[in-house]
Structure 1
Amino acid sequence: MGSRPRPWDYVQLQINGELIVWERGRTNFAQLHRRVTAGRDLLRVARERPAHYVLFDLLADAGGHVILNLPLAQRRARLEQLLADAPAQLTLTPQTADMRQVSDWLLNWTVAAGIEGVVSKRLDSRYEPGRRGWSKFRTRIVTEAIIGGVTGSISRPETVLLGRFVRRGRLRYTGRSHPLTLDQRAALAELLSPPRIPRHGTAHPWPQPLPASWTGQLDRPEPLPYVQVEPTVVAEIDADMALNTGAGAIGCGT
């Protein structure tokens, strides 16, 4: 005989949340993206890096009743009740009205866990599809990275592809910038040059095009064509906490 069905095996809800994969105590978007490109290895990838679903809000309860017009405080209370016996893969996002706790999250927890930031919502707010009734406060870092390639052309770069040197001198891809401003494009064009120094039989440490599994873009699971450059230019970047996953949102300045 099979095991007794768990209550969550048959619950039908409408919820708002996000899939994440943890790796060494941090969120890793690149590992989540591997599920899109894994193909026949999907089950193995899922076993090696299991995903968790972080729940933000409840839109319709277990009875199928739409509760968008209820205030957030009531929707939250119902969601907490539903998750009382939920499996460990379902996680309720933390919530607080204590500003000291919020400050600690922004200064410490978001950095340590690779969390993008915190979201502020009114407890009496309704859920209004298509309208943003909340504010997001992102945790950002300023750091440096190597420019390994660009989209567009060397003379007219549109975005830059960034990396960091890791063990044995390998240049690890870490992310792609937002579209550059006209001033940034002009400044970079004077600094960039084609690859010229051979490394292990090749003039550049990255493949052409960049594999989809590197770029971490769920909405574009295709290899990324780009122009390789000599990886000697260092850029100062303003990045969100997803940078280490290869999917960071990056603003760039040389």
Structure 2
Amino acid sequence: MPVDITRAIRAVVPPGVVLDGELIVWERGRTNFAQLQRRVTAGRDLLRLARERPAHYVLFDLLADADGQVVLDMPLAQRRARLERLLVDAPAQLTLTPQTTDMLQVTDWLLHWTVAAGIEGVVSKRLSSRYEPGRRGWWKSRTRIVTEAIIGGVTGGFSRPETVLLGRFDRRRRLRYTGRSHPLTLDQRAALAELLSPPRMPRPGSVAHPWPQPLPASWSGQLDRPEPLPYAQVEPTVVAEIDADVAFEHGRWRHRVRYARTRADMSVYDVPLLLGEEEGYFGDLG
């Protein structure tokens, strides 16, 4: 837990209280997971980062009340009421997640607020539910979009691609890595294999493929696999239709996307460009 958040908690929360929540960093009105990750390796820069990009602790639930009184068996509605009382005088860094029983409000969150703020979706819980450690007694509705990206590589090889590595052009027509798909189905693998080809021979003074081999660990963003990712580079001529969530930061999807199909009716130059600050994040690979 960041030191700035622990100080805020100690200032208003009595000893023995156990909270359930999530750390976030806001940047220009959106959550920024990359800024939160930077704190893990910040070292001596940690205090500076805390000042420049303060973290917030969004509270979901209350597990134990003052003096350690366990409240897991209480209905959610009662736990929520106690949590609200605890946070009456809390600083802005401790934020109670919004909650409603109005389905019109939920729809508005899914259609507008989650997209604008980069929030993954809305969680549904029963007001009468108890807190069950280790079990998911709730349902998550994710906000997802259908869009396009360019296939720049695959894992598993040309004849049997397992996942696709995706990219988009910036305004200088440089292909930037934007994310990776979930594993393909057998039918998707067979259909895609017929369309893939290795990179063409480069022109003098240029490179055959704009991405390094293997793919750097920092690009994939997968915390469970921090090592570089070997892959097969392909000629970036195939457009893929994908289903992605709204966690798109610095020109990359934070989570894996769902590959749907190829778009033979689209040119790679029809795919949306990476614009603005996203272009400077990757460095120039030629």
Using the TM superposition, name which of 87-96 and 208-217 deviates more: 208-217
Change (3 A) 1:82 1:33: same
Q: Is 1:193 aligned to 2:187, yes or no? A: no
Name the aligned partner's letter for residue 240 of structure 2: A
Cα pair 1:173 1:246 within 8 Å, conserved: no
Partner of 1:178: 182
Alignment of 1:126-141 (within 5 A): 126-141=130-145
Partner of 2:160: 156
% identity of equivalent residues: 80
Partner of 2:258: 251
**Unmatched 5+ residue regions in structure 2?**
1-8, 263-286
Partner of 1:230: 235
Cα pair 1:19 1:53 within 8 Å, conserved: yes
Partner of 1:65: 69
Name the aligned partner's letter for residue 145 of structure 2: I
Structure 1 residue 109, shift from structure 2 partner: 0.8
Using the TM superposition, name which of 243-252 and 196-205 deviates more: 196-205
Structure 1 residue 127, shift from structure 2 partner: 0.5
Structure 1 residue 23, shift from structure 2 partner: 2.5
Q: Which has the higher contact order (CA 8 A, sep 6+)?
A: 1
CA–CA separation in structure 1 for the residues paired with 2:209 and 2:53: 30
Structure 1 residue 233, shift from structure 2 partner: 1.3
TM-score under structure 1 length normalisation = 0.87
**Unmatched 5+ residue regions in structure 1?**
none
CA–CA separation in structure 2 for the residues paired with 1:118 and 1:78: 22
Partner of 2:223: 218
Structure 1 residue 12, shift from structure 2 partner: 5.0
Using the TM superposition, name which of 35-44 and 51-60 deviates more: 35-44
Change (3 A) 1:10 1:76: closer
RMSD: 2.5
Using the TM superposition, name which of 147-156 and 91-100 deviates more: 147-156
Q: Deviations over 1:71-111 (max 9, x none)?
A: 11111112122222223222211100111111100111111
Cα pair 1:54 1:92 within 8 Å, conserved: yes
Cα pair 1:20 1:54 within 8 Å, conserved: yes
CA–CA separation in structure 2 for the residues paired with 1:119 and 1:248: 18
TM-score under structure 2 length normalisation = 0.78
Change (3 A) 1:196 1:40: farther
Change (3 A) 1:208 1:164: same
CA–CA separation in structure 2 for the residues paired with 1:60 and 1:197: 64
CA–CA separation in structure 2 for the residues paired with 1:89 and 1:122: 27
Cα pair 2:156 2:232 within 8 Å, conserved: yes
CA–CA separation in structure 2 for the residues paired with 1:36 and 1:202: 34
Structure 1 residue 144, shift from structure 2 partner: 0.2
